[in-house]
Amino acid sequence: MDFALSEEHRMVQQMVREFAQKEVAPVIKEFDRKQEMAPFVLPRMAELGILGICLPVSYGGQGMDYIALGLACEELEAVDTTLRVVMSVHMGLNSLALFQWATEDQKQRFLLPQARGEKIACFGLTESGAGSDAAAIRSTARRAGDEYVLNGEKMWISLATKADHILWIGRSDPQAPDPHDGLSAFLVELDRPGVGRGDIHGKLGVRAGSTGWISFQDVRVPADHLIGEPGEGFKIAMSCLDNGRYTVAAGATGLIRACLEASTKYSHERQAFGRDIARFQLVQQKIAHMVQSYDAARLFYQRAGWMKNQGLRNTRETSIAKWFATDASFAAASEAIQIHGAYGYSDEYDVERYLRNAKGAVIYEGTSEIHQLIQAGYALGYRQDAPLRCELPAYEIQKWQQEDFH
Protein backbone atom coordinates (compact mmCIF):
# COMPACT_ATOMS: atom_id res chain seq x y z
CA MET A 1 0.00 0.00 0.00
CA ASP A 2 1.33 3.43 -0.94
CA PHE A 3 -0.36 6.55 0.41
CA ALA A 4 2.22 8.96 -1.01
CA LEU A 5 1.38 11.54 -3.67
CA SER A 6 3.68 11.70 -6.68
CA GLU A 7 5.61 14.80 -7.70
CA GLU A 8 3.05 15.36 -10.48
CA HIS A 9 0.17 15.13 -7.99
CA ARG A 10 1.80 17.79 -5.83
CA MET A 11 2.25 20.02 -8.87
CA VAL A 12 -1.44 19.71 -9.75
CA GLN A 13 -2.38 20.47 -6.14
CA GLN A 14 -0.16 23.54 -6.14
CA MET A 15 -1.35 24.85 -9.49
CA VAL A 16 -5.06 24.46 -8.67
CA ARG A 17 -4.55 25.86 -5.16
CA GLU A 18 -2.87 28.97 -6.55
CA PHE A 19 -5.65 29.52 -9.08
CA ALA A 20 -8.41 29.08 -6.49
CA GLN A 21 -6.76 30.96 -3.61
CA LYS A 22 -5.13 33.81 -5.53
CA GLU A 23 -7.57 34.42 -8.39
CA VAL A 24 -10.99 33.35 -7.12
CA ALA A 25 -10.92 33.73 -3.32
CA PRO A 26 -10.50 37.54 -3.44
CA VAL A 27 -13.69 38.00 -5.51
CA ILE A 28 -15.86 35.06 -4.47
CA LYS A 29 -17.92 36.96 -1.89
CA GLU A 30 -18.85 39.58 -4.48
CA PHE A 31 -20.00 37.01 -7.06
CA ASP A 32 -21.80 34.93 -4.42
CA ARG A 33 -23.74 38.06 -3.43
CA LYS A 34 -24.50 38.93 -7.06
CA GLN A 35 -25.57 35.31 -7.69
CA GLU A 36 -23.40 35.17 -10.79
CA MET A 37 -20.45 33.13 -11.96
CA ALA A 38 -17.26 35.20 -12.29
CA PRO A 39 -16.74 35.51 -16.08
CA PHE A 40 -13.06 34.57 -15.95
CA VAL A 41 -13.56 31.23 -14.17
CA LEU A 42 -14.30 28.90 -17.10
CA PRO A 43 -11.77 30.40 -19.57
CA ARG A 44 -9.08 30.35 -16.91
CA MET A 45 -9.81 26.74 -15.90
CA ALA A 46 -9.57 25.84 -19.60
CA GLU A 47 -6.29 27.71 -19.99
CA LEU A 48 -4.77 25.95 -16.99
CA GLY A 49 -5.79 22.54 -18.37
CA ILE A 50 -8.01 21.79 -15.38
CA LEU A 51 -11.03 21.02 -17.63
CA GLY A 52 -9.18 18.10 -19.23
CA ILE A 53 -7.01 17.09 -16.30
CA CYS A 54 -7.55 13.32 -16.25
CA LEU A 55 -7.99 12.62 -19.96
CA PRO A 56 -5.34 11.32 -22.36
CA VAL A 57 -3.24 13.90 -24.18
CA SER A 58 -4.46 12.49 -27.50
CA TYR A 59 -8.01 13.52 -26.55
CA GLY A 60 -6.93 17.05 -25.65
CA GLY A 61 -6.38 16.31 -21.93
CA GLN A 62 -3.42 16.58 -19.58
CA GLY A 63 -2.76 12.82 -19.25
CA MET A 64 -3.03 12.85 -15.44
CA ASP A 65 -4.75 10.14 -13.37
CA TYR A 66 -8.02 10.03 -11.40
CA ILE A 67 -6.27 10.92 -8.12
CA ALA A 68 -5.18 14.18 -9.77
CA LEU A 69 -8.86 14.87 -10.54
CA GLY A 70 -9.73 14.33 -6.86
CA LEU A 71 -6.91 16.56 -5.66
CA ALA A 72 -8.01 19.32 -8.05
CA CYS A 73 -11.60 19.06 -6.75
CA GLU A 74 -10.40 19.24 -3.15
CA GLU A 75 -8.47 22.44 -3.86
CA LEU A 76 -11.32 24.02 -5.83
CA GLU A 77 -13.98 23.42 -3.19
CA ALA A 78 -11.68 24.61 -0.42
CA VAL A 79 -12.39 28.04 -1.97
CA ASP A 80 -15.91 27.69 -3.34
CA THR A 81 -18.22 24.80 -4.21
CA THR A 82 -19.15 26.37 -7.55
CA LEU A 83 -15.59 25.77 -8.82
CA ARG A 84 -15.80 22.08 -8.00
CA VAL A 85 -19.29 21.82 -9.52
CA VAL A 86 -17.71 22.75 -12.86
CA MET A 87 -15.52 19.65 -12.59
CA SER A 88 -18.42 17.46 -11.44
CA VAL A 89 -20.54 18.16 -14.49
CA HIS A 90 -18.02 19.02 -17.20
CA MET A 91 -15.59 16.21 -16.34
CA GLY A 92 -17.27 13.73 -13.96
CA LEU A 93 -20.73 13.49 -15.48
CA ASN A 94 -20.03 14.29 -19.11
CA SER A 95 -16.43 14.02 -20.42
CA LEU A 96 -15.63 10.83 -18.52
CA ALA A 97 -18.88 9.31 -19.82
CA LEU A 98 -17.79 10.05 -23.39
CA PHE A 99 -14.38 8.59 -22.60
CA GLN A 100 -16.11 5.45 -21.30
CA TRP A 101 -19.00 4.97 -23.74
CA ALA A 102 -18.56 7.05 -26.91
CA THR A 103 -17.31 5.77 -30.28
CA GLU A 104 -13.91 6.92 -31.52
CA ASP A 105 -15.59 9.31 -33.93
CA GLN A 106 -17.73 10.81 -31.13
CA LYS A 107 -14.63 11.20 -28.95
CA GLN A 108 -12.90 13.17 -31.68
CA ARG A 109 -15.93 15.39 -32.30
CA PHE A 110 -17.19 15.97 -28.76
CA LEU A 111 -14.65 14.88 -26.14
CA LEU A 112 -11.61 16.57 -27.65
CA PRO A 113 -13.01 20.14 -27.58
CA GLN A 114 -14.39 19.49 -24.07
CA ALA A 115 -11.02 18.30 -22.76
CA ARG A 116 -9.37 21.41 -24.21
CA GLY A 117 -12.05 23.57 -22.59
CA GLU A 118 -13.17 24.93 -25.96
CA LYS A 119 -16.64 23.51 -25.24
CA ILE A 120 -18.23 23.40 -21.79
CA ALA A 121 -20.30 20.35 -20.91
CA CYS A 122 -23.23 19.64 -18.59
CA PHE A 123 -25.45 16.70 -17.66
CA GLY A 124 -29.24 16.42 -17.89
CA LEU A 125 -30.87 13.63 -15.94
CA THR A 126 -33.19 15.33 -13.42
CA GLU A 127 -36.70 16.54 -14.30
CA SER A 128 -39.39 18.15 -12.17
CA GLY A 129 -40.95 14.72 -11.55
CA ALA A 130 -37.79 12.59 -11.70
CA GLY A 131 -34.97 13.11 -9.18
CA SER A 132 -33.90 10.16 -7.02
CA ASP A 133 -36.22 8.03 -9.16
CA ALA A 134 -34.42 8.63 -12.45
CA ALA A 135 -36.39 5.91 -14.25
CA ALA A 136 -39.46 8.20 -14.00
CA ILE A 137 -37.99 10.44 -16.74
CA ARG A 138 -40.66 11.72 -19.14
CA SER A 139 -38.51 13.46 -21.75
CA THR A 140 -38.78 11.64 -25.05
CA ALA A 141 -36.42 10.70 -27.88
CA ARG A 142 -38.25 9.63 -31.04
CA ARG A 143 -36.38 8.15 -33.99
CA ALA A 144 -37.24 9.85 -37.30
CA GLY A 145 -35.16 8.49 -40.20
CA ASP A 146 -31.52 9.43 -39.64
CA GLU A 147 -32.37 11.69 -36.73
CA TYR A 148 -33.83 11.68 -33.24
CA VAL A 149 -36.42 14.27 -32.16
CA LEU A 150 -35.97 15.23 -28.50
CA ASN A 151 -38.62 16.78 -26.24
CA GLY A 152 -38.87 17.55 -22.51
CA GLU A 153 -37.55 19.75 -19.72
CA LYS A 154 -34.57 19.10 -17.46
CA MET A 155 -34.46 20.85 -14.07
CA TRP A 156 -31.66 21.70 -11.64
CA ILE A 157 -28.98 21.47 -14.29
CA SER A 158 -25.58 22.78 -13.22
CA LEU A 159 -23.98 25.10 -15.84
CA ALA A 160 -27.36 25.22 -17.67
CA THR A 161 -26.68 28.67 -19.10
CA LYS A 162 -22.91 28.26 -19.52
CA ALA A 163 -22.60 24.92 -21.29
CA ASP A 164 -22.21 24.22 -25.03
CA HIS A 165 -22.96 20.48 -24.78
CA ILE A 166 -25.31 18.38 -22.67
CA LEU A 167 -25.31 14.65 -22.04
CA TRP A 168 -29.08 14.26 -22.09
CA ILE A 169 -31.10 11.23 -20.98
CA GLY A 170 -34.55 10.67 -22.48
CA ARG A 171 -37.09 7.91 -23.06
CA SER A 172 -36.56 6.32 -26.47
CA ASP A 173 -38.76 3.24 -25.88
CA PRO A 174 -42.00 4.01 -24.00
CA GLN A 175 -43.08 0.36 -24.43
CA ALA A 176 -40.07 -1.17 -22.63
CA PRO A 177 -41.50 -3.52 -19.93
CA ASP A 178 -38.91 -2.23 -17.45
CA PRO A 179 -38.80 1.61 -17.61
CA HIS A 180 -35.05 1.52 -16.83
CA ASP A 181 -34.49 -0.17 -20.22
CA GLY A 182 -36.41 2.47 -22.20
CA LEU A 183 -33.90 5.31 -21.73
CA SER A 184 -31.13 6.43 -24.08
CA ALA A 185 -28.29 8.95 -23.82
CA PHE A 186 -27.48 11.69 -26.35
CA LEU A 187 -24.79 14.30 -26.69
CA VAL A 188 -26.60 17.47 -27.78
CA GLU A 189 -25.15 20.83 -28.82
CA LEU A 190 -27.11 23.51 -27.01
CA ASP A 191 -27.21 25.93 -29.95
CA ARG A 192 -29.66 23.69 -31.83
CA PRO A 193 -33.12 25.10 -32.73
CA GLY A 194 -35.75 24.29 -30.09
CA VAL A 195 -33.44 24.59 -27.05
CA GLY A 196 -34.56 26.94 -24.26
CA ARG A 197 -32.74 27.52 -20.99
CA GLY A 198 -32.44 29.77 -17.98
CA ASP A 199 -31.01 30.02 -14.46
CA ILE A 200 -32.85 29.35 -11.20
CA HIS A 201 -32.55 32.30 -8.80
CA GLY A 202 -32.97 32.39 -5.04
CA LYS A 203 -30.91 29.26 -4.30
CA LEU A 204 -29.62 28.64 -0.77
CA GLY A 205 -26.07 28.02 -2.00
CA VAL A 206 -23.79 27.60 -5.02
CA ARG A 207 -24.78 31.15 -5.83
CA ALA A 208 -21.59 31.99 -7.72
CA GLY A 209 -22.49 29.25 -10.20
CA SER A 210 -25.20 28.49 -12.72
CA THR A 211 -28.01 26.05 -11.89
CA GLY A 212 -30.99 26.09 -14.21
CA TRP A 213 -33.43 24.44 -16.55
CA ILE A 214 -33.03 23.28 -20.16
CA SER A 215 -36.06 22.58 -22.32
CA PHE A 216 -36.13 20.78 -25.67
CA GLN A 217 -38.96 21.39 -28.08
CA ASP A 218 -38.61 19.18 -31.17
CA VAL A 219 -34.83 19.39 -31.02
CA ARG A 220 -33.45 17.31 -33.91
CA VAL A 221 -30.08 15.58 -33.65
CA PRO A 222 -28.42 13.19 -36.13
CA ALA A 223 -28.66 9.57 -34.95
CA ASP A 224 -24.88 9.52 -34.47
CA HIS A 225 -25.38 11.72 -31.38
CA LEU A 226 -26.70 8.67 -29.53
CA ILE A 227 -24.10 7.67 -26.90
CA GLY A 228 -23.93 3.92 -26.34
CA GLU A 229 -26.76 1.76 -27.65
CA PRO A 230 -30.50 2.47 -27.61
CA GLY A 231 -31.84 1.50 -24.17
CA GLU A 232 -28.47 1.91 -22.43
CA GLY A 233 -29.28 5.39 -21.05
CA PHE A 234 -29.95 4.33 -17.45
CA LYS A 235 -26.73 2.29 -17.23
CA ILE A 236 -24.77 5.17 -18.75
CA ALA A 237 -26.33 7.67 -16.32
CA MET A 238 -25.47 5.47 -13.32
CA SER A 239 -21.87 5.10 -14.54
CA CYS A 240 -21.70 8.90 -14.91
CA LEU A 241 -22.68 9.14 -11.23
CA ASP A 242 -19.76 6.88 -10.24
CA ASN A 243 -17.50 9.62 -11.59
CA GLY A 244 -19.56 12.67 -10.60
CA ARG A 245 -19.90 11.42 -7.01
CA TYR A 246 -16.15 10.95 -6.83
CA THR A 247 -15.63 14.65 -7.61
CA VAL A 248 -18.31 15.62 -5.06
CA ALA A 249 -16.61 13.48 -2.38
CA ALA A 250 -13.20 15.01 -3.07
CA GLY A 251 -14.66 18.51 -3.14
CA ALA A 252 -16.53 18.06 0.14
CA THR A 253 -13.22 16.96 1.64
CA GLY A 254 -11.82 20.35 0.62
CA LEU A 255 -14.79 22.07 2.23
CA ILE A 256 -14.10 20.27 5.53
CA ARG A 257 -10.50 21.46 5.28
CA ALA A 258 -11.63 25.05 4.69
CA CYS A 259 -13.88 24.83 7.79
CA LEU A 260 -10.99 23.46 9.84
CA GLU A 261 -8.59 26.19 8.69
CA ALA A 262 -11.10 28.98 9.31
CA SER A 263 -11.97 27.54 12.74
CA THR A 264 -8.39 27.11 13.98
CA LYS A 265 -7.49 30.62 12.81
CA TYR A 266 -10.51 32.24 14.46
CA SER A 267 -10.18 30.30 17.70
CA HIS A 268 -6.62 31.58 18.10
CA GLU A 269 -7.76 35.16 17.46
CA ARG A 270 -10.98 35.36 19.50
CA GLN A 271 -10.78 35.89 23.23
CA ALA A 272 -13.41 35.08 25.86
CA PHE A 273 -13.08 34.85 29.62
CA GLY A 274 -9.51 36.19 29.34
CA ARG A 275 -8.10 33.59 26.98
CA ASP A 276 -8.16 32.41 23.35
CA ILE A 277 -11.30 30.37 22.72
CA ALA A 278 -8.89 27.72 21.30
CA ARG A 279 -8.11 26.92 24.94
CA PHE A 280 -11.65 25.73 25.67
CA GLN A 281 -12.03 21.98 25.43
CA LEU A 282 -15.50 22.21 23.91
CA VAL A 283 -14.05 24.27 21.05
CA GLN A 284 -11.20 21.77 20.73
CA GLN A 285 -13.72 18.96 20.46
CA LYS A 286 -15.31 20.56 17.40
CA ILE A 287 -11.88 21.05 15.84
CA ALA A 288 -10.96 17.43 16.59
CA HIS A 289 -14.12 16.26 14.80
CA MET A 290 -13.16 18.30 11.72
CA VAL A 291 -9.66 16.78 11.76
CA GLN A 292 -11.14 13.30 12.01
CA SER A 293 -13.66 13.80 9.23
CA TYR A 294 -11.09 15.45 6.93
CA ASP A 295 -8.72 12.49 7.27
CA ALA A 296 -11.48 9.91 6.78
CA ALA A 297 -13.04 11.75 3.82
CA ARG A 298 -9.63 12.04 2.16
CA LEU A 299 -8.92 8.32 2.59
CA PHE A 300 -12.36 7.42 1.24
CA TYR A 301 -12.03 9.46 -1.95
CA GLN A 302 -8.43 8.48 -2.58
CA ARG A 303 -9.33 4.80 -2.25
CA ALA A 304 -12.03 5.32 -4.90
CA GLY A 305 -9.54 7.23 -7.11
CA TRP A 306 -6.99 4.44 -6.73
CA MET A 307 -9.62 1.89 -7.76
CA LYS A 308 -10.45 3.96 -10.85
CA ASN A 309 -6.75 4.07 -11.72
CA GLN A 310 -6.63 0.26 -11.49
CA GLY A 311 -9.76 -0.15 -13.62
CA LEU A 312 -11.68 -1.68 -10.69
CA ARG A 313 -15.42 -1.16 -10.31
CA ASN A 314 -15.92 1.37 -7.48
CA THR A 315 -19.65 2.10 -7.28
CA ARG A 316 -19.81 1.07 -3.59
CA GLU A 317 -16.59 2.81 -2.57
CA THR A 318 -17.50 6.01 -4.42
CA SER A 319 -20.98 6.04 -2.89
CA ILE A 320 -19.64 5.72 0.66
CA ALA A 321 -17.03 8.43 -0.04
CA LYS A 322 -19.72 10.82 -1.30
CA TRP A 323 -22.18 10.06 1.50
CA PHE A 324 -19.58 10.42 4.25
CA ALA A 325 -17.81 13.53 2.94
CA THR A 326 -20.95 15.52 2.16
CA ASP A 327 -22.64 14.78 5.51
CA ALA A 328 -19.34 15.53 7.28
CA SER A 329 -18.83 18.79 5.36
CA PHE A 330 -22.29 20.01 6.34
CA ALA A 331 -21.57 19.14 9.99
CA ALA A 332 -18.14 20.82 9.81
CA ALA A 333 -19.61 24.01 8.34
CA SER A 334 -22.26 24.14 11.05
CA GLU A 335 -19.61 23.70 13.78
CA ALA A 336 -17.39 26.30 12.10
CA ILE A 337 -20.21 28.83 12.39
CA GLN A 338 -20.66 27.87 16.04
CA ILE A 339 -16.97 28.51 16.71
CA HIS A 340 -17.29 31.94 15.02
CA GLY A 341 -20.31 32.79 17.17
CA ALA A 342 -22.37 35.73 15.87
CA TYR A 343 -19.67 36.69 13.36
CA GLY A 344 -20.07 33.29 11.70
CA TYR A 345 -23.72 34.11 11.17
CA SER A 346 -22.87 36.99 8.82
CA ASP A 347 -21.11 37.02 5.48
CA GLU A 348 -18.21 38.92 6.99
CA TYR A 349 -16.68 35.44 7.34
CA ASP A 350 -16.70 32.61 4.77
CA VAL A 351 -18.19 29.95 7.02
CA GLU A 352 -21.84 30.89 6.40
CA ARG A 353 -21.21 30.40 2.63
CA TYR A 354 -19.62 27.03 3.39
CA LEU A 355 -22.77 25.92 5.19
CA ARG A 356 -25.09 27.10 2.40
CA ASN A 357 -22.91 25.39 -0.21
CA ALA A 358 -22.49 22.17 1.77
CA LYS A 359 -26.24 21.54 1.92
CA GLY A 360 -26.56 21.11 -1.86
CA ALA A 361 -24.05 18.28 -1.98
CA VAL A 362 -26.10 16.29 0.54
CA ILE A 363 -28.92 16.42 -2.05
CA TYR A 364 -27.39 16.12 -5.54
CA GLU A 365 -25.69 13.05 -7.03
CA GLY A 366 -27.74 10.81 -4.74
CA THR A 367 -29.23 12.17 -1.54
CA SER A 368 -27.73 10.85 1.71
CA GLU A 369 -30.82 8.64 2.04
CA ILE A 370 -30.19 7.07 -1.38
CA HIS A 371 -26.56 6.35 -0.42
CA GLN A 372 -27.73 4.66 2.77
CA LEU A 373 -30.01 2.44 0.70
CA ILE A 374 -27.10 1.63 -1.64
CA GLN A 375 -24.78 0.70 1.24
CA ALA A 376 -27.40 -1.39 3.02
CA GLY A 377 -28.23 -3.05 -0.30
CA TYR A 378 -24.65 -4.25 -0.74
CA ALA A 379 -24.36 -5.39 2.88
CA LEU A 380 -27.63 -7.31 2.80
CA GLY A 381 -26.91 -8.95 -0.56
CA TYR A 382 -29.78 -7.17 -2.37
CA ARG A 383 -27.41 -5.34 -4.67
CA GLN A 384 -24.54 -6.53 -6.90
CA ASP A 385 -22.71 -4.69 -9.68
CA ALA A 386 -23.24 -6.30 -13.08
CA PRO A 387 -20.31 -5.83 -15.49
CA LEU A 388 -20.81 -2.94 -17.93
CA ARG A 389 -20.45 -3.24 -21.71
CA CYS A 390 -17.94 -0.36 -21.51
CA GLU A 391 -15.92 0.14 -18.33
CA LEU A 392 -14.09 3.35 -17.39
CA PRO A 393 -10.54 2.86 -18.78
CA ALA A 394 -7.83 2.18 -16.19
CA TYR A 395 -5.02 4.73 -15.96
CA GLU A 396 -1.93 3.84 -17.99
CA ILE A 397 0.60 6.64 -17.73
CA GLN A 398 2.55 6.01 -20.91
CA LYS A 399 -0.53 5.52 -23.05
CA TRP A 400 -2.26 8.58 -21.58
CA GLN A 401 0.69 10.88 -21.99
CA GLN A 402 1.53 9.97 -25.59
CA GLU A 403 0.05 11.91 -28.49
CA ASP A 404 -1.59 8.85 -30.05
CA PHE A 405 -3.66 6.82 -27.54
CA HIS A 406 -4.96 4.25 -30.03
Site string for ligand FAD, 41-80 (x = CB under 6 A): ----------------------------------------
Q: State the binding string over 85-124 for ligand FAD (x if CB under 6 A, else -).
A: ----x--------------------------------xxx
Sign of CA dihedral 289, 290, 295, 301: positive
Long-range pairs for 262-270: beta carbons < 8 A, 24 or more residues apart: 262/336, 262/340, 262/349, 262/350, 262/351, 262/354, 263/287, 263/290, 263/335, 263/336, 263/339, 263/340, 263/351, 266/339, 266/340, 266/343, 266/349, 267/339, 270/340, 270/341
Which residue number, 100 or 302, has a Cβ lying nearer to ligand FAD?
100
- Choose which of 14, 21, 103, 132 interacts with ligand FAD (CB under 6 A): 132
Shortest CB 37 distance to ligand FAD, Å: 13
Nearer to ligand FAD, 28 or 283 (CB): 28
Q: Which residues contact 89 (CB under 8 A, 6 or more apart)?
A: 121, 122, 123, 158, 159, 163, 244
Judged by CB under 6 A, which of 82, 100, 158, 357 binds ligand FAD? 158
Residue 284: its H or E element: helix 281-310
Closest by CA position to 85, among listed 156, 17, 33 = 156
Catalytic residue at 365?
A: yes
CB-nearer residue toward ligand FAD: 47 or 133: 133
In this structure, are residues 49 and 394 in contact, taking their beta carbons and an 8 Å threshold? no
Cα–Cα distance between 350 and 403 in angstroms, integer?
43
Closest distance of CB 179 from ligand FAD, Å = 15
Residues 314 to 373 in contact with ligand FAD, rule: CB under 6 A: 360, 363-365, 367, 369-370, 373
Using CA atoms of 172, 173, 176, 181 in order, give the dihedral in degrees to the nearest 10: -20
Size of the site for ligand FAD (CB under 6 A): 21
Please check whether residue 203 is in contact with residue 211, taking contact to mean a CB–CB distance below 8 angstroms: yes
The residue number whose beta carbon is nearest to ligand FAD equals: 131
Of 365, 369, 396, 403, the active-site residue reads: 365
126 binds ligand FAD (CB under 6 A): yes
In terms of CB distance, is 71 or 206 closer to ligand FAD? 206
Catalytic site positions:
365
**Chain contacts with ligand FAD (rule: CB under 6 A):** 89, 122-126, 131-132, 156-158, 206, 211, 360, 363-365, 367, 369-370, 373
